[in-house]
Structures are given as C-alpha cells and as structure tokens.
Structure 1
Amino acid sequence: MATRKARATASKTIADETVELPPRARIMKSAHALFYGQGIRGVGVEAVAAAADTNKMTLYRHFSSKDELVAAYLREVAAEIEASWDRIGARHKDDPRGHILAWLREMGRQMERPESRGCPITNAAIELPDASHPGRQVIEEHKRGMRRRFAENAKQAGLKRADMIAEQLLLMLDGAGVSLQTIGHDHGPMSTLLKHAEWLLEMDAAK
C-alpha cells in the first residue's frame, strides 16, 4: 500500500511539472523520472502515461513499444553525459588530464546528490541483459564511446598506457556508481574514485 501511494504521489508530482510540455516531451520527462527512480522493469507504460497526464494510445503513437521508449530514454541520458564531457572539455582545451579529472568530479557531484541512484546507464545495463534489446545497444555504444574519450585524452596527455588507463577509469566509474547503491553516499565512493583516478594518472606519467 505504501509503495502504491508513493508511486501515485511521484506520478502526480511529475504531471504537475510537465503540464506545459507537448505530449512527447511529457512522456520523456516522466520516463526519465520513473525509470531512474524506480527501475526500468518496475515501471510499465501505464505508469509513464499516467505520470505524463496522457494515455497509452498517445504514448504508442510516439513510441512503438516500451523497449523503444526505454531506448529513447537511454539515448537522451547518454547525450546529456556526452554533452557534459564536451562542455567541460571546452574549458580544458590544453589540459587533457585536467579534462578527465574535472569531468569525473562533475559526475561525482551529480551522483552524490541525495536522490541519486548512481549512473542511469549502468543501472539500465543490469536490468537489460538481452543483447538484442534496443536499449542495450545504446548502452554499449555509449560505454565504448566513453572509453574512447578517456583513451584519446590520456594519449594527448602523453600517458604511456592510455588504452589500459581508459579501461581502468571506466571500470572505476561504473564501480563507484554501483557502490553508491550498495554502501551508500556516506562512504564517499565518488570521492574515492577521484583519488584513485588522480593516482592512476600520476603513476603512469611518472613511469
């Protein structure tokens, strides 16, 4: 009963915030809030439509299936993350190492908010094991892209093991996001990530 009431309250809040938006935008905003807050598998299209103050018929006019809605949600999330990389990179044009650390610091600020459940892309990967799911394809492309960005910056910084460092940074970032949900914010997994990232970049540069 408490869970049902909480979901109803969340849906009403989302509907109040999206009332001025067109239907597709309302659906996407609702999908972001519900998929991230309650999990992809735990949220049906009925809940998304209700939160968007619309109906299933309208939702299916914009998205052919829940899988397609999930993929659209993940594409928007990935685009936001990648845009933050580019935005921070513009402030560190001559400092590729500083770019990496500044971006990780920004991810830390985002994920250590009280309402955070870690990285939405990583969370979705756990929920979507089927390689044929359109959302899974978005996840894998995004993660490969982030590894490539780390490697390019590491090479520009003159680091000797740029590809290995990129893999380690991605593993640590994913691990920190999961740790937020297993050991909580109080233990500071994102702060720990930044310390380890700094150490990793310094160690390679010193070799």
Structure 2
Amino acid sequence: MAARGPRALSSTAEKTPSRRISGEDAHASLLEAARELFYYEGVRAVGVEAVVERAGVNKMSLYRQFKSKDDLVLAYLERSDENFWGYFNASMAKHPDDARAQLLQFFIDVSERASRPGYRGCPFVNVAAEFPDPSHSARQFVRRNKAQLLTRLRDRAEAAGATDPDALADDLAFLIEGAYTASQTFGTDAPRLIKSLPRTARVLLDGNIPAAVPARKPD
C-alpha cells in the first residue's frame, strides 16, 4: 500500500496525451493509473476509458496487457498486497527480537499512516464493500490477504507469549479493521480517533501477554 499524496483524481480530469510506448511501459502506466483511480474513486466508479486516459495509452494497449477490467482489478490488488506486506514487514523489522513490541509498533505505524490527509482507507476493505458476491475473484483475493494477516498476527502473538494467541489475534484484527473504517466514517474527528489506536492495542497486549518476571538475583 505504498502511499502517495492526494491528487486531483476525477476521471474527467485533464487527460494524459496518448503516446506510443513499449508493452512493459504501458503495463506500468496502466497499473499506476488504476492504482490512483481505483483507490481514490472506487473500482466500480472507474471505467477502463478513464484508466486509459490517465495512463496516456490507447484502449488496445490496455487489452494487450489485461484481458478484462477484472484482470486489471486483480493486478491492482496484487500490487496493493505487495505494498502492504512490505509495509508490515518493515514495521516488524523495527523490533526484530521482541514480538510484543512488533505488534505495538504495527499499530503505531497504522495510526500514523491513517491520520495523514488524503488517506482513503484500506484498499482491500474498499474493494470488499464494492463486490457483494463472495465468489467474485476480487473478494476472494481480499479474503486471502486478510487470512494471511490473521495468521501473521497469531504468529506474533504466540511468539510474544500470549495466553491465547488465537483470541489475541482475533481482537487485534478486529481493531485494525475498525480503524480502517473509522478513518473514513468519522470525518474531521477521524485523525483524533485514529491516534488512540496504539493506546487501545496496548490495552489488548497488556491483558493477554503476561508481564515478564524479573530474573532473580543469586544470593
């Protein structure tokens, strides 16, 4: 989920002039255009014409790279997935030897990211809301991403010594999803609420991970 600053992203905005470029460059331009438009305006609200215009290529270039809009949506989700796990792993790397600190750090990082102006929420939550059919390929992709997140949270909870790693992972996942939603529904109050995320996560961690007992000094 690599973030960029908000842009004027209306599908009726100024068009990028169409140009002849290589297949590799066309693929990159189309995927970047889809990332911007799908994330800020919504997948269903954006047609392939808007993506083509934003990318500055012709429609034939799009269909050479992607068989359909659904394929383009999946490519967008794959890119979002790569970005998210890069972000998650970078957060974990800040405390390589302390699983509890890793979990807390992730919530600190999510809080900071979700408080930025122009933040549009979790791309996977957004896509899930747009596709009610659970059998749709986009919904299936979202489900895999969220299942992997739950697995990673459970792994870190177990490494941190949680009394019930499954329950703690469930609670933390629920907190994350609630934060993503609150970032979009509370308007001007959202940044203030999201800043409470690390505090709430700390309460969950303290309640589920026994405090370390100091080693007894030899007599």
Deviation readout 1:39-96 (Å, 9 max, x if unpaired) = 1110011101110001221111111111111111011111111111222222311111
Task: Find the aligned partners of 2:207 and 2:154 in 1 and give their Cα distance.
Answer: 16
**3-state SS of the aligned residue for 1:106?**
helix
Question: 1:193 maps to what in 2?
Answer: 197
**Unpaired runs of at least 5, structure 1:** none
RMSD over aligned Cα, in angstroms?
Answer: 2.1
Task: Find the aligned partners of 1:103 and 1:137 in 2 and give their Cα distance.
Answer: 25
Task: Find the aligned partners of 2:89 and 2:35 in 1 and give their Cα distance.
Answer: 22
Question: Which residue, 86, 89, 92 being the options, matches 2:92?
Answer: 89
- Structure 2 residue identity aligned to 1:198: R
Task: Find the aligned partners of 2:176 and 2:187 in 1 and give their Cα distance.
Answer: 15
Task: Find the aligned partners of 2:91 and 2:198 in 1 and give their Cα distance.
Answer: 16
Cα 1:192–1:95 shift into 2, 3 Å: same
Task: Find the aligned partners of 1:55 and 1:131 in 2 and give their Cα distance.
Answer: 33
- Structure 2 residue identity aligned to 1:202: D
**3-state SS of the aligned residue for 1:171?**
helix
Task: Find the aligned partners of 2:106 and 2:67 in 1 and give their Cα distance.
Answer: 35
- Structure 2 residue identity aligned to 1:88: S
Scaled by the length of structure 1, the TM-score of the pair is 0.88
> How do 1:98-117 residues align onto structure 2 when only pairs under 5 Å count?
98-117=101-120
- Structure 2 residue identity aligned to 1:135: A
- Cα distance, 1:186 vs structure 2: 2.7
Give the number of equivalent residue pairs. Answer: 198
Task: Find the aligned partners of 1:99 and 1:199 in 2 and give their Cα distance.
Answer: 15
Task: Find the aligned partners of 1:162 and 1:197 in 2 and give their Cα distance.
Answer: 14
Say yes or no: does 1:146 pair with 2:146: no
Scaled by the length of structure 2, the TM-score of the pair is 0.83
Q: Which has the higher helix share?
A: 1
Task: Find the aligned partners of 2:28 and 2:210 in 1 and give their Cα distance.
Answer: 49
**Considering only CA atoms, is the larger Rg found in Structure 1 or Structure 2?**
2
The 4+ residue runs of structure 1 with deviation greater than 6 A are none
- Structure 1 residue identity aligned to 2:66: F
- Cα distance, 1:180 vs structure 2: 1.4
**3-state SS of the aligned residue for 1:7?**
coil
Question: 1:70 maps to what in 2?
Answer: 73
Say yes or no: does 1:202 pair with 2:210: no
**Unpaired runs of at least 5, structure 2:** 1-8, 212-219
Identical positions, percent? 35
Question: 1:45 maps to what in 2?
Answer: 48
8 Å CA contact 2:104–2:198 kept in 1: the answer is yes
